[in-house]
Amino acid sequence: MAILIADSGSTKTDWVLLEGDSIIATCKSIGFNPYFQSSEDIYIEIKTKLIPVISKKLTTITKIAYYGAGCSTEDKIDIVKEGLLLAFGTILSEVNHDLLAAARALCGKEKGIACILGTGSNSCLFDGNTITENVPSVGYLFGDHGSGAAIGKTFVQDYFDEKLPIHLKIAFEKAGYSREIILENVYKKPMPSKYLAGIVSFLVSFNDDVYIRALIKNCFSIFFEAQVSKYTNAKNLYVNSVGSIAYYYKDILAEVCKEKGFLIGSIIKSPMDGLIKYHS
C-alpha cells in the first residue's frame, strides 16, 4: 500500500509516491493555490503531469497527504479536495496547509517556530503535534514579509522611486524590465506575487552587492518583527525555516536571527525530505 505526498507552493508542487519507507516515484507540476485556481484547474494539471508518471501504481495508493498554499479555510480545502477527487476518485485525501508541512518537516515532534520563506511567507508556533499559534501572513499586498515577493516588490519600489544604484538600474533594464512591463505583469496578469518573486532570479547575480544585501537583510528584519517576535516565548525556541529564499540567503537570515536575539534552527530548501520521514 502506498501514500502519495504533495508539497504545493504557489510556484510548484513536488509529488512523492511512498511505499513503506521506499520512494516509488517522484514528479513535479505547477503550484496550486485555491485562491487563484479552481478544482478543474488542479484536476487538469494532475491528469496531464502526474497521472502518466504513477499510472502503474494508481491501484496501490490508499492515501493522499496534500500540503498546499492557500489551504487555510474549509472552502479553500474543499476546492483542492474536489480536484483530487476528480483525479483519483474516492482515495482518502488529507488536505492541510503548507504551514503544517513546514512544521512537521522542520520540527518533527519537537516544539519550535517554523517559517516559510519562498515565493510567499508564513510562520507558526508548533508544539510537536499541532500548530498552536499563527500570525496571519495576509498575502503579498499587505504581508508576505521576507518572501521573494516582498524582496521583489521592495526592489521594484526603489526602481520606481529612482533609489537604485545606477549600475543596478542599468543592469535591471538590460535584463528586460521597465516601468510598463512591470505594471503590466503586476496589475493585468495572473499570479503577480510569482512575478515579483521572479525578480529575485535577477538579484542573485548581485548577491555580494552592498545594496542588495542591505535590502534582503531589511526584508528579513521586518519578517522577524512582524511575525517571529509575536510568538509566546519566541526567544527561547529555535527558529527553523524552509523555502528557496531562506535557503539561498541563509547567511543573511542567520545574521538577522542572531542580531534580533533569536535561536537559529535548521534552514532547508524543501520540506519533502522531512515529510517523507514523517509519513514513512
Which parts of the chain are beta strand (E)? 2-8, 12-19, 22-30, 61-68, 92-97, 112-117, 121-126, 131-133, 238-242, 263-268
- Is 210 within the bounds of a domain? no
- Is 68 within the bounds of a domain? yes
pLDDT higher than 80, residue 9: no
- Is 237 within the bounds of a domain? no
Question: 223 vs 279, which has greater pLDDT?
Answer: 223
pLDDT higher than 80, residue 11: no
- Taking the C-alpha atoms of residue 104 and residue 98, their distance in angstroms, rounded to an integer, is 10
The mean pLDDT value for 166-189 works out to 95
How many Å separate Cα 251 from the centre of its chain? 19
Structurally, the chain folds into a number of domains equal to 1
- Is 113 within the bounds of a domain? no
Confidence of residue 20 (pLDDT cuts 50, 70, 90): confident
Residues with Cβ within 8 Å of residue 120, at least 6 apart in sequence? 9, 10, 69, 137, 139, 140, 144, 147, 148, 149, 193, 197
- Is 141 within the bounds of a domain? no
CATH number of 89's domain:
3.30.420.40
Domain that holds residue 15: 2-101+273-279
Q: Are 62 and 279 in contact (CB under 8 A)?
A: no
- Is 65 within the bounds of a domain? yes
- Is 59 within the bounds of a domain? yes
Is the pTM higher than 0.85? The answer reads no
The mean pLDDT value for 160-167 works out to 96
- Taking the C-alpha atoms of residue 75 and residue 244, their distance in angstroms, rounded to an integer, is 28
Confidence of residue 210 (pLDDT cuts 50, 70, 90): very high
- Is 58 within the bounds of a domain? yes
